[in-house]
Structure 1
Amino acid sequence: MRLSRSSKIFCTMLAVCLILSACGGGGGGSASEDGTIITARGVITGFGSIYVNGVRYHTNSARFTVDDNPGTESDLKLGMVVTVTATLNDDNTGNASSIVFDNELQGPVANLVTDADGLIKTFTVLGVTVIADRVGTSFHDTTFDTLVEGDLLEVSGFYDGSLVLNATFIERKESFTPGVSEVELKGTVSNNTSESFLINGVTVNYDPSGIRTDLSRLTGAISDGDLVEVKGSLDENGEIQATRIGHEDDGLDDSISKVSLEGIITGYIDDSNFMISGIAVDASSALFIPSGLTLGNGIKVEAEGPIVNATLQALKIGARGGGNDIEIDAHVSSLSNLDNSITLNLSNGSVTVFVDNRTRMEDKTKAVESLSVSDLGSGDFLEVRGLLDSSNRVILTELRRDNTDDLVLQGPVEDFVTNSSVTILGVTLFTSATTQFEDINDSTISADTFYNGLTVGSLVKIKDEEPGDGTADEVEFED
């Protein structure tokens, strides 16, 4: 299969690893799959050894490749998107033979903007728009609050249909120095000449003789429409002086027995015809998790099945975010290691949430290196994101222990009393004359406008300023 030029940017190391392994990948094994060779691409959600797409992969015999160089497990970090080739065991674990991390982007931050809620930062790196999420992005050697223009960042994550990179991992390398700091960029070649071309509007200059630019990773001459990876330095004119250029493979083996792929849906036509990370997917016969999952552009999912004729024939597809996400910022009132449940207190009530092998857990208090439910205690302040399963349980996708902040509850509205209260996840929070109401664009609206537009099922976020009194300080529609 030949991908369209607009889709090629999504084909990162997954395609390469699939061809090298000539076999499949998985997001969860069973006894009947013991011995199956799998390839899984997704975010690292935990260590010991590593967790990817809900499976613990033992790394004792693994070969590590990090940014095209030999590496070790210690080079891997929470939030990185990796490709794992492994053999499934009968205990729902895997023995990894190869683990590959290849960043999507490295360069200086520009055009940095923070949203009104202080939860999302948007910026550009080498012409690529990047979105960083306070909870959903793992930060290393920097934080959400300390990101500044001019930082040299390495970024991993998933592209959406607008070619916006939704960061799952950001690491600050250093302060950017023009002509010295190494930058990396992947994309589609345009305006190619004998010594330069464009990617995302950024000029890349190279030495066609191969003396100043390593061209050994090219599979042929550079042409418009090629997907390439460029490494080099960014000069004061904003042009890359390439030290290495290589083609990114956009092919897929015609028959791969098992693949697990996490990413954002793009190019959605119907359930039998869409893309995840540039890979064609047919989910028309898939088991949906939860059963009421509705697919569409912008929804983050994990699809699992064989590759047949360059299309992933999904046997299972599960939501990982991008729909009616649950958000809760609150203190722990109780927890259970038996079922990995955590009960969070929200003044007028509580919500019980559940951690599974896919939950990315991070400790911003730095009390422990690798956070687990057993490390949590009553009174800890957590910021969590999750999804409702078929039994209306909140299954967490992200959990972050942090310093105490305002209480937050977001979810679909279950009930409301006009000009009085809103109920979400069984918790009723009241509104008053001092409550600030906002629409989906963060613009202030009146209480009457809010309640006139409110329906059961509306996605709403409520903030109750710490220490919380059960009356909302801010209420806003979410999209």
Structure 2
Amino acid sequence: MNNRPSSHSRRRRLTAGLLAAALLITHLAGCGGGVDSGGTGIIASGPISGLGSIFVNDVRFDDDSAEIRDEQGALLTKDQLKLGMTVIVEGGTLDTSGTQATSTALAIRVVSDLVGPVASVDAVGGSFVVLGQTVIVGARTLYDGSLTGGFSALVPGMTVQVYSQYDPLTRQYAATRVEQLPDASFYKIRGVVAARDPQAPSLTLGSEVIGVGSVAGNAVPPADIGDFLSVRLLPDNAQLAATSVRTADLMLADHPVARVEGTVTEIVSSRSFKVNGIAVDAVGAHFDGDEAKVVLGARVGVFGATLAGTLVAARVIVHDDSVPAIASFALVGAVQELDAAARSFRIRNTPVVFDDGTTFSGGVAADLADGRRATVTGVPSLDGTRIVATQVTFGTP
């Protein structure tokens, strides 16, 4: 009996995910960095909304002893974690006894969606194209400091790395962070297969045709139109050629607590769907918001537990917009590089500015000093390269 879905159903399988391919549990183990929490902790995925530790989906994770890797398995330091990066975190027991939910991060995986040259920029529409994929930006998109001016600094030919949430309805990437990456050793795309040519052989993702003939046949997963794949490419090649092709389906280990923020990437009904490629069973869930708005491409937050690869939802939060809209960002740590005249400083290597609208608690602006611990809450500057502090709360001097 052939259990392969029909071509029609497979076209509906837009199994996208901002964290998908590189975060397969088998891949984590294969990288030598897999963490088995023994089913006693939390798993969370989404963009980093705070540093010092890291904040993901309203949970503060102590990252002092976490194993941090990128999707290729390379070790990273916690100083390389940046606001807006998309991650998956496996942590210990979740503590909700205080005003802030906390856990200890055991493993953190950092995954971007696109690496490649900018092909074009639409200044009016607020978007740009990388390797045939359209990236949209917004007021909460953050930019690396090397992109002075943020979005306006993007020019055709510049190589960038994009962290985002993928919208399978529009097949666009809503950027949470954009970085310049001039020395990229490879390009990559996580995208939906728009066309395939078995004879070439090639796959089309977005508007980009990618040759897969140089990849060993058994290393290319069966792909159909509508499937979401992670493809790694050789840079600086007029005819893009893949060096690896992987599926983007994601299986999570069993965790009694799971929090996932993302877009609906496949849907059977409002009670059975996928978020970021993660299967969700919401039969017994409580919905915050209009359940009727749980459609392909909708942005949702899902709280529950993972069991046998499925997130069994207890609560589904339905957001009104499809673009990630982090209300504010948080930074906790010691003040660095204070410039009182410029009203600027850094915390956790993140540039911060303050102005007359900034509220200070436990002190005043004059109490800012290098080494002084503080908690900063703020929003991105107009160009997205700094955090404008709305509140600064001093810690113990």
Whether these two folds match at TM > 0.5 is yes
Q: TM-score, normalised by structure 2?
A: 0.68
2:157 and 2:246 mapped to 1: Cα distance? 28
1:219-275 per-residue CA deviation (whole Å, 9 max, x = no partner) reads 645543373422311433xx2134x31423525369553321111234556431333
Residue 95 of structure 1, CA deviation: 1.2
In the alignment, is the contact (CA less than 8 A) between 1:23 and 1:258 conserved in 2?
no
Matches for 1:275-290 after TM superposition, within 5 Å = 275-289=274-288
SS state at 1:71 partner:
coil
1:229 and 1:375 mapped to 2: Cα distance? 39
SS state at 2:92 partner:
strand
In the alignment, is the contact (CA less than 8 A) between 2:120 and 2:155 conserved in 1?
no
- Runs of 5+ unmatched residues, structure 2: 29-33, 332-341, 360-376, 384-397
Matches for 1:281-430 after TM superposition, within 5 Å = 281-289=280-288, 295-297=293-295, 298-308=297-307, 310-319=309-318, 322=321, 359-361=328-330, 367-370=344-347, 378-380=356-358, 399-401=379-381
Instruction: State percent identity of aligned pairs.
Output: 25
In the alignment, is the contact (CA less than 8 A) between 2:25 and 2:252 conserved in 1?
no
- Runs of 5+ unmatched residues, structure 1: 26-34, 327-354, 382-396, 404-479
1:315 and 1:24 mapped to 2: Cα distance? 21
1:131 to 124, 129, 136: 136
**Which residue of the partner structure matches residue 262 of structure 1?**
261
Aligned residues: 326
In the alignment, is the contact (CA less than 8 A) between 2:250 and 2:278 conserved in 1?
no
SS state at 2:231 partner:
strand
1:124-169 per-residue CA deviation (whole Å, 9 max, x = no partner) reads 2111111011x22111121122222222111111111222111111
Q: Give 1:173's aligned amino acid.
A: L
1:167 to 147, 163, 175: 175
**Which residue of the partner structure matches residue 232 of structure 1?**
234
The structure that has the greater radius of gyration is 1
Residue 318 of structure 1, CA deviation: 2.8
SS state at 1:369 partner:
strand
Point out which structure has higher relative CO (alpha carbons under 8 A, 6+ apart): 2
In the alignment, is the contact (CA less than 8 A) between 1:66 and 1:75 conserved in 2?
no
1:77 to 78, 82, 88: 82
2:20 and 2:64 mapped to 1: Cα distance? 25
Q: Give 1:88's aligned amino acid.
A: T
1:402 and 1:247 mapped to 2: Cα distance? 37
Q: TM-score, normalised by structure 1?
A: 0.57
Q: CA RMSD in A?
A: 4.0
Change (3 A) 1:228 1:44: closer
Residue 183 of structure 1, CA deviation: 1.6
| Greater strand proportion | 1
Residue 48 of structure 1, CA deviation: 0.6
**Which residue of the partner structure matches residue 115 of structure 2?**
106
